[in-house]
Amino acid sequence: MSDRFDFDLLTLGAGSGGVAASRRAAAHGAKVGIVEASRVGGTCVIRGCVPKKLLMYAGQYGDALREAVEYGWVLPEGDLPRFDMGRWAQRKAAEIDRLEGVYRQLLANSGVTLFEGRARVLGPHTVQVGDRTLRARHLLIATGAAPVRDSVEGIAACPTSDDLLDLKALPADATVLGAGYIALEFASMLARLGVAVRLVYRADLPLRGFDDDVRRRLAAALDQTGIELVSGQGVKAVRGGPGRWEVVLADGRRLQASFVLNATGRRPNTAGLGLDTLGIALGDNAAVPVNEQLQTVAEGVHAIGDVTDRLNLTPVAIAQGRALADALFGPAHRMPDLRQVATAVFTLPPVGTIGLTEDEMQQRREPYRVFEADFRPMRQAFFGGTERCYMKLLVDDTTDRVMGLHMLGADAPEIVQSLAVALTCGATKAQFDQTLAVHPTAAEEFVLMREPARVVRSFS
């Protein structure tokens, strides 16, 4: 490292991607610093994936308690145990503190220097953190994203998922604005925990970008849990305050709510970062534009993860961070292939998916086969439960390669994660057929679907 620089790499943002990149660079022998304005661990660990899934588990335990009676368990007389949000929040806070400590220790053990404070780029290779000025050969922007607070008049005052996860008591009712991952997950969990939930969104179906057959069935599943779906409606304004909110819809209707969750989207954390001093013009939604090698237009400046607004998933940010560190300081590297990435939506029931949707198969204008299974799992059928499971395979009719795999139902994220290996390796439908089933499981249906539900060879 030249005497001109304090660090070989200075990372802005100590979330999952930034920490992964910094540790990998340090392992290659680089001198690395990392800057964090909030808590170490970033959105996923502190206020996203981890606490969200802990809340999902809470909802699942409620389901299990209700189902236990049908399986022969005799519970104490009276009502089922009551969910205590305050108790959950206390345990959640302790677990997040523990995980943050783990991340801090990982950085320290890797030899990465942590600077706590807000970073501002002053110019090429130069960053100010508090009263310190740091110079680095390479800068990595890994500042992530945050909830959008200006999408609707008055929405800035509304709680976001960050706030919801810190509640000590649940509201009696909640109106959730949005229909993406965050909106659907929290609407689902709140409903399972006893909150009367209303979901308001502009499209006909929730979860834009997913396969339409999954979207339709998920909407039906949410409706079945008692969530009121207000579809095809934009929101004109939100008024009021804690405990007494009013949501004004585009058609003039006024909805009253004791709690309103702003889940209308997220925006890259680039405001006030000073990237203009490097000649970086922000793209749509304030994202940092990068090329396939994760380089910006400024020499020595790179960006990964949600701040680039490409594919906003924690594993993507981690893979990008490690690949970039290898490219800058290692003997070899390979950038992650983002054409086929598995993802999950932790609703109850959850969604798991990888590969193309049927709309995307249509756009290819190549013949394809559709295989489907729609059934009540054994666990539900035993006591007359109504929750269903849906599975779908999309197969190229010429090559027999499985191009898309989609599931809605219990354990969908776990099942799809395993099958993602097969799709990444280019598995064919014949190879799925040759795989013996594990019985009795829900997952076995993916290797038992023999006859296509339909074959598509013409396109309008």
Under 8 Å between Cβ of 8 and 137? yes
Phi/psi of residue 6, each to 5°?
-80, -30
Q: Which of the residues 138, 302, 406, 439 is marked catalytic?
A: 439
Q: What span, in angstroms and rounded, lies between the C-alpha atoms of 35 and 288?
A: 18
Query: Which residues participate in the annotated binding site for NAD(+)?
Result: 178-185, 265
Query: Which residues participate in the annotated binding site?
Result: 53, 178-185, 265, 306
Q: Would you call 439 a catalytic residue per the annotation?
A: yes
Query: Which residues participate in the annotated binding site for FAD?
Result: 53, 306
The 3-state secondary structure of the chain, one letter per residue: CCCCCCEEEEEECCCHHHHHHHHHHHHCCCCEEEEECCCCCHHHHHHCHHHHHHHHHHHHHHHHHHHHHHHCCCCCCCCCCCCCHHHHHHHHHHHHHHHHHHHHHHHHHHCCEEEECCEEEEECCEEEECCEEEEEEEEEECCCEEECCCCCECHHHCCCHHHHCCCCCCCCEEEEECCCHHHHHHHHHHHHCCCEEEEECCCCCCCCCCCHHHHHHHHHHHHHCCCEEECCCCEEEEEEECCEEEEEECCCCEEEECCEEECCCEEECCCCCCHHHHCCCCCHHHCCCCCCCCECCCCCEEECHHHHCCCCCHHHHHHHHHHHHHHHHCCCCCCCCCCCCCEEECCCCCEEEEECCHHHHHHHCCCEEEEEEEECCHHHHCCCCCCCEEEEEEEECCCCEEEEEEEECCCHHHHHHHHHHHHHCCCEHHHHHHCCCCCCCCHHHHHCCCCCCEEECCCC
Active site residues: 439
